[in-house]
Amino acid sequence: MSNHIRANSILPAKREDIELHTADGVTLVGELAVPLDRAPVATLVCLHPLPTHGGMMDSHVFRKAAWRLPALAGLAVLRFNTRGTSSVRGTSGGTFASGVDERFDVAAAIEYAEFADLPHLWLVGWSFGTDLTLMYGLEPAVAGAVLISPPLRFSQPSHLAAWAADGKPLTALIPEFDDYLRPEEAASRFAAIPQAEVVPMPGAKHLWVGDAEKVLDEIVKRVAPSVPTPLPRTWDGPMETGDMNAYADRTVAAFADVDVPKPLKD
């Protein structure tokens, strides 16, 4: 009997809690999910939204990626909390550094994936995580990147120029009603990267509430093009249910009056 895959559905995978150790001595908590019965075809290294505004490794698109994509698409999904960030998994060491010291966090995640022999690494950044991707993700082990709702707040033109020069594939998923960067402006800003693919997402907003499935389909199209999309919306095998109450304090409303941090000057 097929069951509908819902927001809190957890499909089978091998999941393990992991720790990342940064070059500046910080321990980060995370999770690695891999397919249960086969080797992964590719790997997502997820960089989450602003922790000062509820962003964490369990932000809903990444949580659903880890709960679904090992089974549906054969992908490994590595999620972690950047420094000073908390989730159900725990709290990473250090403190939020406005995108400066987080360079060590990105490097530690890529290094972990390399040592674990995870194949075909793609960075998937969301909001603040897209800035970290653009600033620090251009590493030899990285095959390419997908940017979800990039605000281009912390990253600079020099970072775009570096991606342009390197030539690695880059896809930007731009919500029609984004709070920071909408499709027309995104097309103009990302024109600095000739190989960048800007994908307008009709009807979507910055946080992708109700649109996570569309995001996952677009990610899989780039990272594992041999996997048919759209991904299945039903599942015939065993399926667990996650606790959605654990994220009630991370809603948009909870951070409505919190100022968004500005980039630190070097």
Q: What is the DSSP string of 167-218?
A: ---EEEEEEEE-SS--HHHHHHHGGGSTTEEEEEEEEEETT-TT-HHHHHHH
Is residue 266 assigned to a domain?
no
Amino acid at the residue 88 = V
Question: What pTM does this model have?
Answer: 0.94
pLDDT at residue number 263: 72
141: CATH: 3.40.50.1820
pLDDT at residue number 156: 95
Is residue 118 assigned to a domain?
yes
pLDDT at residue number 255: 43
Residue 133 per-residue DSSP state: H
Q: 171: closest CA among 238, 98, 244, 220?
A: 220
Structure tokens at 18: 């992991």
pLDDT at residue number 245: 73
Q: Is 196 helix (H, G, I), strand (E, B) or coil?
A: strand
pLDDT at residue number 89: 95
pLDDT at residue number 266: 44
Is residue 124 assigned to a domain?
yes
Is residue 263 assigned to a domain?
no
**Sign of torsion over alpha carbons 218, 223, 227, 233:** negative
Q: Please answer whether residues 234 and 4 qualify as being in contact, where contact means their C-beta atoms are separated by less than 8 angstroms.
A: yes
Evaluate the omega torsion of the peptide bond into residue 35 and state whether it is cis, within 30 degrees of 0.
Answer: no
Taking the C-alpha atoms of residue 240 and residue 71, their distance in angstroms, rounded to an integer, is 13
Q: Please give the residue range of the domain that contains residue 251.
A: 13-234+241-255
Is residue 126 assigned to a domain?
yes
Please list the rounded mean pLDDT of every run of 10 residues in the chain (266 residues): 92 98 98 97 98 95 98 98 97 97 98 98 98 98 98 96 98 97 97 98 95 97 98 96 72 50 62
Is residue 178 assigned to a domain?
yes
Is residue 262 assigned to a domain?
no
What's the Cα-to-Cα distance from 83 to each of 50, 67, 153, 204, rounded to whole Å? 11, 23, 19, 29
Taking the C-alpha atoms of residue 196 and residue 252, their distance in angstroms, rounded to an integer, is 29
Number of domains in the chain: 1
Is residue 4 assigned to a domain?
no
